[in-house]
Structure formats: C-alpha cells, structure tokens
Structure 1
Amino acid sequence: MDLFDDLPEPTQPGGPVTAARPRAGTEEEEDEKEEEEEEERRAKRKREDAESEADKKEEQGEIKKVCKEGLPVLKGYVAARRGERDEMQDAHVLLPDMSSCLSLPGQSSRVSYFAVFDGHAGARASRFAAEHLHHNLANKFPSSELRDSENVDKLIKKCLLDTFRQTDDDFLKKASSQKPAWKDGSTATCVLVVDDMVYVANLGDSRAVLCRMEAAADGQRRSVTLALSKEHNPTMYEERMRIQRAGGTVRDGRVLGVLEVSRSIGDGQYKRCGVISSPDLRRCQLTANDRFIILACDGLFKVFSADEAVKFVLNIVQEGSGERRAGLTEEEVQFEAACQQLASEAVRRGCADNVTVILVSIGFRAKSSSSSSSQHTQFD
C-alpha cells in the first residue's frame, strides 16, 4: 500500500478556504453524482499507483546501474618484518578478487579478501589459517539465488562464524594428532569486501582501521580514523568473566598468566579455559571519501596508535616521494612505499615483535550516489 493512501486529497490546493455551496437537485441525483465521483477517484488512484510502481522499478534500476559504475577498486600491499624474533610467526593473505571461486549473492559482482594472522608458540596455526580459512569461506559463501540484501548480511555473518569455527576445529584436530601435540595459536583479522560493503571478522589483538576523508569547518579535507575491529584480551570485563566462568583465571593480564589474548585459532590447551574462536563481526559501507584500510598485527600497534599509522601513510601518499617503478602507476608506487615504510618505522621505534602490515588502497571508478550515506555498525 502506498504510504499516502490514507491521506485525503485536498479539494482546493491553493487560496483561502471558502464556505460550502448549498446542494442543488434531489438527494438521489446528488448520491448518484457522489458515487460516480468516488469511482473516478478510485480509478485515478489505481492509475497513479501503477505509474508510481513503474517509476520505483525504473529508479531502482538506475540506482543499481549507478552503484555498479561506482564499485570500489581495491589494491593490496604487504610488508613483513621479523623484528628481533628468531622466527617469523605472522602470515597473511591478499586476494583482491576472489569472485571467480564464489557463487555470488544477488547482484554482487566482486568479492575481495585480505587477512593477517599473528602466530604465537609457533607459526603452524597462523600458516594453517592463512592456507585454509579463505577456502572454508568460499565453500560456505551464500549462493547466487539470494536476492534480499538483509538476508545476505545475515548469511554472510553466519558464513564467517562457521568459517572460523571450522578452521579452528580442523587445526585443533591436526594439532592433537601430532606427537607431541602442537600448542600453536594465532590471532586473525580478516576483511571481506562484497562490492562496496566491508565485513570484518577478528580474533585477538590484530586490528583493522579505515581512513576516511571528511570536510572540516575551514573547508579543508581531514582524515578520520575508523576502527573496524575489536581487540580481545583477558583484561576486558566480558572476556575475563567468560574465562572465569569456564574455570580459568586471569593473572598479569594473561589467561592462566600465560596467554595474552582471549580469542584465537588453535591454543588447544586453553580452549577449556574459555578461550574461543568466535570472531567479533563488523560491517561498514565504503564511500568515495575512503582512502585506505590498514590491517596489521599488534607489532605495529605497540608503537603506533591507529591515528598515527593513518597519518603516517597519508603523508607518504600525499608527498609522492616514492621511486618510480616499471609497471606501477604513481599512486601504486606511493602506497607500496607507505606500506614498506610503516613496517620499517615500527621496527625502528623499538618493536621487537614480528610486524606485518597490509595496506589496501580504495579507489572509485565513479562516485556512487548510494555511497553518500555510510554505516559503521556492529552486527546485531
């Protein structure tokens, strides 16, 4: 039903309201006249409803066309530093276009995937997750017959939860079958981009942040740093309560005084103490004002705040000081240089941990009218 069906039509759209004229003719004639007028009004409303429905369909078609023309173009860059560790225990995955191995929902036409895994007690959990998690995701991804965007959001949420659970279960089975059993664990921060919608799933203390440019009061454009992930450490109230209810303890900010994170892949010996593999899930729609996403392990954020990291990258990209390289555009050269320099600067500032940084540049072929409004919300 049209939103305005219940509103009476104005009898006089303009001018002052005048007194009603006396009725002429017999009551029967007047009743017949009113019935005829009512029939005409009903027929007019039906025609208007049909035209309105046609207009809506045409408008939706135009919106879809504009959105398709305005899809973001994503490019990933990675830098990894061992720091002072004996072994590189981080792992990463960059898949700017994984659409070919998916059955896409609705009108979706591109899916991208980027992930950082920070291993501890060994590199086997992080490497296992880097190798298997996106394959599990592809197998569980919503099928193409879905058309309702709300249902797609719910199914992608379920897909991510199931993907993390299966990846963790598979690794724990493999770890427990070894002699001696593997004790490795890993954080995970994964960014899945479906057209212009970003879905972030994370465990532990690796993080993802978005740089968005917004107009300031003085007319200049300034960067705003948006957190796309949530850290999980045992000192947080909800995390500590879950661990304690499971029979574990938190000492010196660590599970049983040892494990620094409260959610992870692997860490089989801590699963009975409330350490879980259910990720925090967030969703954000990209706009033409967005410049890049930084995914990094805690090695970066031990010596950089999120805002400092964003400004560091922006300065390098805007200065344009990178060396020209064959086959790369000027913008690609700047983002590559920014990614490498950010990781190196973390080590220079004294981070002894492994440092892995993924920098995802965001460009739009054309500004999308549907991108003027943005969301940054956690799933219900």
Structure 2
Amino acid sequence: MALSTTQLQRFHAAGANFSCSAKTTTRSHFLTTARAKIQCRCSAIAIDAPSSLTDVAGIRWGSTSLQGAREEMEDDLVIRSDGLDGFSFAAVFDGHGGCSSVKFLRDELYKECVAALEGGSVLKGGDFEAIKKLLREAFGNADRKLLNWLETSAEEDESGSTATVVFVGNDMLYVSHVGDSSVVLSCSGKAEVLTESHRPYGSSKASLQEIRRVREAGGWIVNGRICGDIAVSRAFGDIRFKTKKNEMLKKGVVEGKWSEKFISRIKFNEDLIIAYPEVFKVTPGSDAEFLLLASDGLWDYMNSSEAVSFVRNQLRQHGDVQLACEALGRAALDRRSQDNISIVIADLGQTDWQNLPLQQQNFVYELGQALATIGIVSVGIWMSSLLSF
C-alpha cells in the first residue's frame, strides 16, 4: 500500500541526522536441528493500537503479543497518544516471577512520564538534559510506588518487570530503557540498535558496567545471574533485591542455597537491581523507515538485521504494519522461541513501500556466510583426518 505524498513529506529530520552504521549483537541466533519442537500456545493481540492509527505525523502503529512455551503470559505492551502533545508513547514490558508488576506498570509508568514531562511540553522544548533527568525521576517514582504496593500485598509477591519506552514525535524520538528488551531503527534497510541490554554477563561495556555495579552494591553473580537468581540487572519491582535484601539472604539459608557463614560476610551497600533508565535522544534522518521495539523473546532468536529485513519485505508486499508485526512474531515462534514475545512497530510514514525494491544483498550475504561455514567445517574435517594418522 503506497503512502500518500503528504505522508512521505512528514517526519524529515531537524538538525544532525542519526548515523545508521550497522551494528551486530553478541547473542547466538542459531538453533540446532536436534532441538525438540515446542508446542506453543499463542495469540496475536493489538493492544491500544489498531493498524489504522495515524496519530503523529502519519506514523502508523502495529503491535502483537504472543505467548510461547510459558505457563503464564508475563509480557505486555502499551501504545498511547493521549496526554503527550505532539508525541506518542509506546512501551514493552517483560515480566518475571509473575505478571502483577507488569499490570501495575502498564498504567502507572505512563502516568508518571506524562506528569514529569508536563504533558509533552518538556519534550517539545528539546532540552535533553532536562528530559533525561525527568524521565529518570518518573521511572524512580513508578518503582517506589510498585515496591510499596508489593510490600503491602496480602500475598508474598517477588515479581518484577523490565520496561523499554519510546516517545515518538514529528522529527525526534526519545528512548528510556531498563532491562533487556531492545529498540531498533531501520534506516534504508540497515538495522541500528538503539539500546544495550542490562544483563550481568558478557564482555560488552554495558555488561561489564552492570557486573561492576552489582558487585559494588554487595551482590555476587553466578552463571550470569545476580545471586544465582535473576539474569537482568535493571528492572522494576524485584523486592528481594531492593527493600528485602536481608530477608532474601535468610530465606536462602532456609532453602539451602547458602550457609549462615556465607551470609555473615555479605554487606549490601545499594540495591542490586535498579530501575534507573538509560535515556537516548535520536534525530531520525530522511532514510529512517520504521522503529521496532520488542522483548527478548524476539531478539534471542532473531538478530536485528534479520528482523529489519523481514519487516521491510512484509511492508513492501502489503504495507500493513499490523500484519507485518504479527508475521514477525510468528516467525520467532517458528524458530522455536520459548519465551513470551511482545512487538511494537512504528512506520515513520516516509517510505513508499509499494515501490521499494527487494533487498537482494541479504541473500548474497547469507549465501556467502553459508559457503564460508561449509569451508571452515571442511577444513576442520580435513585437519582431523590428518591428525588421526
């Protein structure tokens, strides 16, 4: 479906363009053929965002939530256009330990952001330092309210949730990010990853910073998990790593996780998990096509370049953002994704999808990679045969 001339003229960048150099992720995205097939229960749901929504400058939204091989659906997403003059709000929440924290944050985080940003006037003002400060305050306020709610809950609730939020305007977008969901911007088919996962393992700069922060706070990491428990280092909720850290230690002794002698040496200085977001400002260039926001249920099974290529070809075929979103989620399930998956796509309204040529370079690249792999395997077999003599 071709976009109108008016739509194509919208969303041109103001000031310096955002550089769309290619980036790669460090996660493994290839599954062995021996892996057992997982029976998944899934549903595609558009939440607050019908495909026809064109609230800001002709931007069109699509969204889907899929339940993979999990007992409970702990993901959620929100797209809202009310309350923020000149900007739309989109967020993906990835819960753990239950879905109560996600349900609380779905409305509360939005309210805190709207209040802090004065209904969008601060965003329109463009003072990035002020925006960054206010968004961090909004995230902190939402986390404190959630912790208080969890503490007063009749039942013991140790749930938590990541949150990745984007504010999309006519010529600017802001990202406020806690956890391991990711935001990717497609620029002429090149995937630009705008976020780095807050995980306490790996050798990236972000991971090393998280590992150091957790240790300085008095925590420890076992097999990439804080206190051998959780694999994200920034999140909302998770009361046992914040206001009930000492109770968590005592409970661990009862459960046989560690000894009294071990916990006698532990001294906590700060919270082990924090809801302090990284905040980014992006000025999309004229080659910016769409924004892709998704939980790690997608990214653990499909890298950013693959996802961008998939969505581009979908939009080229039919131009329907909602259909492209749902197809991307199904593709992740086809790759045996075991996690819940939530995806939001914002078509920025300046690409003529009907007349966009197919991306042939991806096939050539993938063929080259396949041939290189075959070559390496062949050399390995040859060397092994020589060593056997």
TM-score normalised by structure 1 residue count: 0.66
Please tell me whether residue 259 in structure 1 is matched to residue 236 in structure 2. no
* 1:180-191 to 2 correspondences below 5 Å: 180-191=155-166
Q: How many angstroms apart in 1 are the aligned matches of 2:222 and 2:13?
A: 54
Q: For residues 124-179 of structure 1, what are the alpha-carbon distances to aligned partners after superposition, in whole Å with 9 as ceiling and x for unaligned? A: 111211111111111111478879955x2222112210111011110000001113
Return the alpha-carbon distance in structure 2 between the equivalents of residues 362 and 194 of structure 1: 10
Asked whether 1:82 is paired with 2:31, we answer no
**Structure 1 residues 1-380: aligned runs within 5 Å:** 72-95=57-80, 97-98=81-82, 101-102=83-84, 110-142=86-118, 149=125, 152-213=127-188, 223-235=189-201, 236-271=207-242, 272=245, 273-320=271-318, 331=319, 333=320, 335-364=321-350
Structure 1, residues 185-241: CA drift from partner, whole Å, max 9, x if none?
A: 00111001243111001111101100011xxxxxxxxx1111121210011211111
Between the two proteins, what is the percent identity of the paired residues?
A: 30
Mapped to 2, the partners of 1:127 and 1:149 lie a distance apart of 31
1:149 and 1:182, CA in 2 relative to 1: closer, same or farther beyond 3 A?
same
Closer, same or farther in 2 for the Cα pair 1:149/1:355, shift >3 Å? same
1:274 is aligned with what amino acid? L
CA RMSD of aligned residues (A): 2.4
**Is 2:13–2:285's contact at 8 Å kept on the other side of the alignment?**
no
Q: Which has the higher contact order (CA 8 A, sep 6+)?
A: 2
Q: What letter corresponds to residue 314 of structure 1 in structure 2?
A: R
- State the aligned residue count: 268
Contact 2:92 2:342 in 1 (8 A): yes
Partner amino acid, structure 1, of 2:191: T
Residues 246 and 274, structure 1, Cα contact 8 Å, conserved in 2:
yes
Go from structure 1 to structure 2 and tell me whether the alpha carbon gap of 1:146 and 1:227 turns closer, same or farther (over 3 Å shift).
Answer: closer
Instruction: Tell me how far apart the structure 1 counterparts of residues 279 and 122 of structure 2 sit (CA, whole Å).
Output: 21
Q: Distance in 2 between matches of 1:342 and 1:291?
A: 17
| Alpha-carbon shift at residue 287 of structure 1 (Å) | 2.9
C-alpha spacing 1:298/1:143, structure 2 compared with 1 (3 Å): closer
Letter in 2 for 1:201: S
Task: Tell me how far 1:270 sits from its aligned partner.
Answer: 1.1
Tell me: CA distance 1:269–1:145, structure 2 relative to 1, closer, same or farther (3 Å): closer
The one-letter code sitting in structure 2 at the alignment partner of 1:358 is: V
Closer, same or farther in 2 for the Cα pair 1:224/1:145, shift >3 Å?
closer
- Tell me if the contact between 1:142 and 1:156 (Cα under 8 Å) persists in the aligned partners: no
**What amino acid is aligned across from residue 228 of structure 1 in structure 2?**
L
User: Measured at CA, do residues 363 and 86 of structure 1 come closer, stay the same or move farther in structure 2, by a change above 3 Å?
Assistant: same
Q: CA deviation at 1:304?
A: 0.3
Matched residue, 2:19: none
Query: Aligned partner of 2:336: which letter?
Result: G
Structure 1 CA distance, aligned partners of 2:333 and 2:183?
19
Aligned-pair CA distance for 1:317: 1.2
CA contact (8 A) 1:209 1:295 kept: yes
Please give the alpha-carbon distance, in whole angstroms, between the structure 1 residues aligned to 2:316 and 2:123: 40
Structure 2 gaps of 5+ residues are: 1-11, 15-55, 202-206, 246-270, 352-389
Larger strand fraction of residues = 1
In structure 1, list runs of 5 or more residues that go unmatched: 1-64, 105-109, 214-222, 321-330, 366-380
- Secondary structure of the 2:90 match is strand
Contact conserved, 1:288 with 1:363, CA < 8 A, in 2? no
Taking the aligned partners of 1:131 and 1:146, their CA distance within structure 2 comes to 20
Q: How far apart in 2 are the matches of 1:234 and 1:183?
A: 19
In structure 2, relative to structure 1, the CA distance for the partners of 1:290 and 1:253 (3 Å cut) is: same
